[in-house]
Structure 1
Amino acid sequence: MKINFKIQPSEKWLEELAMQLGTIPETATTFTVRYEDSFLRVNTVPYNKNFIPFVGKLVTQQPLGFCKENFGTNEYWTLQLVKSSRKHKLELINESGEVRVIESRTSGVFFSSSMIVDLELEASQETSVLSVNLHRDWLCEQLGISESVEPDESKLRELLMSESASFLCISTYPDWIEDLVDNVGAFNWKLMLQAKCLQLIADLSSQLRGKKSVACQLNGQDLQKIESIEAQFFGANKVLPSIDFLAKEAGMSISKFKKCFKIRFGASPYEYYLNLKLDEAKNQLLEKKWTISEIASQLGYTSTANFDKAFKKRFLVNPSTMLRNAS
């Protein structure tokens, strides 16, 4: 199933999005929609035309796709971070029809509103989305970027003010996004969402000024090699080959492979692999089909104690406590 939407930022954007998805908002800042045995929940804050953050939680039992169409203007830029329990496919298409494809469990992109952005989700997975829509004039003002600025800032302003469809890949996926998605009922949630998103934008602007985004640090060939290695050899239920083997497969030295991998996925190869296993453990735990020791064994842990320690380091709570809190 594919859902196409084209929503211009306005005071009624949430209502219009809900209507395009076949439902109506429960409140001015949230709506939930169900498609057969799948569902989507969107939560946001009171409307501000310059700064529109929201989070989404999707549980899909059947393949599902969302396509953001071309707004016809580059008045807005969007920072979108996606994390899914399985690989998702993200296609970015500019006005010339050129396509960039990203296939990963986590993706981060910063794109102008004239880009077409197509997100495809496989069946039986859970996905979290953080999206922040920013009016480019407001963003330039907040960043202090005027027409007479330093060369690096001039390039950033030129990018933001261009009428060409553009995007940059972002390597960061902060752990706090999961907390925001899962705790929308917290009394200070709206304040936390706005504060965290503003910090994220501040960090992003520093990366762009310093040319530390994926698009700036990796050439297309290296990026493609790294993504191919990740797709082929990384998985919660796979045995990770040695770094030496992975580097040779990528045609890189070990040091270059580690550096490129961390730029693209935000963690070292082993840390990323460990996080995949722990994310899968969390999913299995909440499904309540297996015991903690069974999950640890399935994911290759030699002892429950080692699993418990790694799980707590990742999620700041041990497996038994998470299971008890979910009951």
Structure 2
Amino acid sequence: MSIQTIKYPAIEHHDDWIKKMAKEFSATIHDNSFELPKNIGKGKCMQYYPCEWLTVSYFKISLNRGIDFQRVGMPNSPYIPIVFYLVDAQQVVDNVKYRVGAHNPNGIFMPSTDIDSKWLIPANKWITNLTLAFKREWLIEQIPDSNSYVHQLLSNNESFYIFESISPKLLSIINEIENEIASCKQLSKVSIYNNTFQLFTQFTKQLNNREKQQTRSNITSADVKTLFEIRALILDNITDMPSIETLANTAAMSSSKLQKTFKQLFGKSITQFALREKMRLAKTMLKTGNFSVSDVAYKLEYSNVSHFAKAFNNCYKINPGAYIESIV
């Protein structure tokens, strides 16, 4: 089956994207969202409007045939997109192919409004994407430091596109947003808006820290790719993390090099990173209301509930039982 091409311009109005997608998929918009027709595939596309300067687009879809999404730049568009690629895919910019995804160095894509780009969505594969589109002029006015990376990037008139990794903190916020979208609870939209602002704020902080990050001149691009694969392996096995020796063998590095470069790239040691992510998972499980403290401790492979409670308290400065009571 041939690949379909969908061309869409950089947005000029906040609801341009969802209107264009609904038209291309022959779908009807209800409450700023639409389901894919069965002859097209499965899944849903939706938009949220937390405020007049920010638009949130989200979709989780599986298509019956592959689609080549082609974004056509529009120099006068007021909106800059921040695209969070949550599954592995291929992005093409200036005829250069990039691997993108949540566990890839190129997890986030932010282009100036005049940049063309392509994104290939394969058939019969669930694809999830979250995009924040913000008004460029609004953000420039809100940044007091004219020497900051973000201010300089947005205030000059040059074309640009940047890739950034999805840090564990960003990924945690995105997971919260996805959980709220899936829950369809009465107050979920309020939580989505709150988490969206957190995501936007955290991303701009991460972007501004580019100039402040420790030099990585001794880490090759191949090392970076390997370290992201190790990070993904840890996250996939967070309840029963492989040993440092096993991870080092997988990375084809010495244990000392793996630990040194991992901390240099991600800001935490492997042990610190794994513990933090395990506690994030614990917090998410407790928040659902479907698990007791002992349930979570058991599922996270703690042999003693008190050991789990101590780890949780060290991370969040509240014991897990009190945390459950605080969210009821």
Tell me the TM-score normalized by structure 2.
0.64
Q: Is the 8 A contact 2:90 2:99 kept in 1?
A: yes
Aligned length: 294
| Aligned pair partner of 1:169 in 165, 171, 179 | 165
Distance in 2, Cα, partners of 1:169 & 1:115: 21
SS at match of 1:6: strand
Aligned to 1:288: none
Q: Is the 8 A contact 1:240 1:273 kept in 2?
A: no
What is the identity, as a one-letter code, of the residue corresponding to 1:166? I
What is the identity, as a one-letter code, of the residue corresponding to 2:245? D
* Structure 1 residues 154 and 211, CA gap change in structure 2 (3 angstroms): same
Deviations along 1:75-98, whole A, 9 cap, x unmatched? 432223354xxxx32323222x12
What displacement does 1:23 show?
Answer: 0.7
Deviations along 1:37-96, whole A, 9 cap, x unmatched? 622242423884x3211333x254x7775644232236432223354xxxx32323222x
Question: How large is the RMSD of aligned CA atoms in angstroms?
Answer: 5.2
Aligned to 1:268: 273
Q: Is the 8 A contact 2:9 2:74 kept in 1?
A: no
More displaced stretch, 109-118 vs 270-279: 270-279
* Structure 1 residues 53 and 261, CA gap change in structure 2 (3 angstroms): same
2:42 aligned with 1:38: yes
Deviations along 1:105-160, whole A, 9 cap, x unmatched? 688414114252526468575x6543211122222123246xxx2364654446x7
Aligned to 1:99: 97
Aligned to 2:140: 140
Aligned to 1:51: 54
SS at match of 2:83: strand
Distance in 2, Cα, partners of 1:212 & 1:195: 28
Q: Is the 8 A contact 1:40 1:59 kept in 2?
A: yes
Gaps (5+ residues) in structure 1?
280-284, 286-292, 318-327
What is the identity, as a one-letter code, of the residue corresponding to 2:99? V
What displacement does 1:187 show?
Answer: 4.2
* Structure 1 residues 233 and 134, CA gap change in structure 2 (3 angstroms): closer
Tell me the TM-score normalized by structure 1.
0.64
1:6-17 correspondence to structure 2 within 5 Å: 6-9=8-11, 10=13, 12-13=15-16, 14-17=18-21
2:206 aligned with 1:207: yes
Aligned to 2:324: none
Aligned to 1:223: 224
| Aligned pair partner of 1:21 in 22, 25, 32 | 25
Aligned to 1:180: 180
Aligned to 1:322: none
Distance in 2, Cα, partners of 1:301 & 1:46: 39
Aligned to 1:131: 131
What displacement does 1:25 show?
Answer: 0.3
Q: Is the 8 A contact 2:107 2:163 kept in 1?
A: no
What is the identity, as a one-letter code, of the residue corresponding to 1:138? W
Distance in 2, Cα, partners of 1:31 & 1:215: 44
SS at match of 1:166: strand
Distance in 2, Cα, partners of 1:72 & 1:128: 23
* Structure 1 residues 121 and 43, CA gap change in structure 2 (3 angstroms): same
Q: Is the 8 A contact 2:89 2:120 kept in 1?
A: yes
More displaced stretch, 18-27 vs 128-137: 128-137
Distance in 1, Cα, partners of 2:166 & 2:45: 24
* Structure 1 residues 55 and 232, CA gap change in structure 2 (3 angstroms): closer
Deviations along 1:150-190, whole A, 9 cap, x unmatched? 364654446x753133333332211421233223452461x
* Structure 1 residues 124 and 47, CA gap change in structure 2 (3 angstroms): same
1:79-118 correspondence to structure 2 within 5 Å: 79-83=82-86, 88-95=87-94, 97-104=95-102, 108-112=107-111, 113=113, 114-118=115-119
Distance in 2, Cα, partners of 1:64 & 1:274: 39
Q: Is the 8 A contact 1:89 1:120 kept in 2?
A: no
* Structure 1 residues 260 and 64, CA gap change in structure 2 (3 angstroms): farther
Gaps (5+ residues) in structure 2?
285-289, 321-328
SS at match of 1:91: strand
Q: Is the 8 A contact 2:28 2:34 kept in 1?
A: yes
Percent of residue pairs bearing the same amino acid type = 15
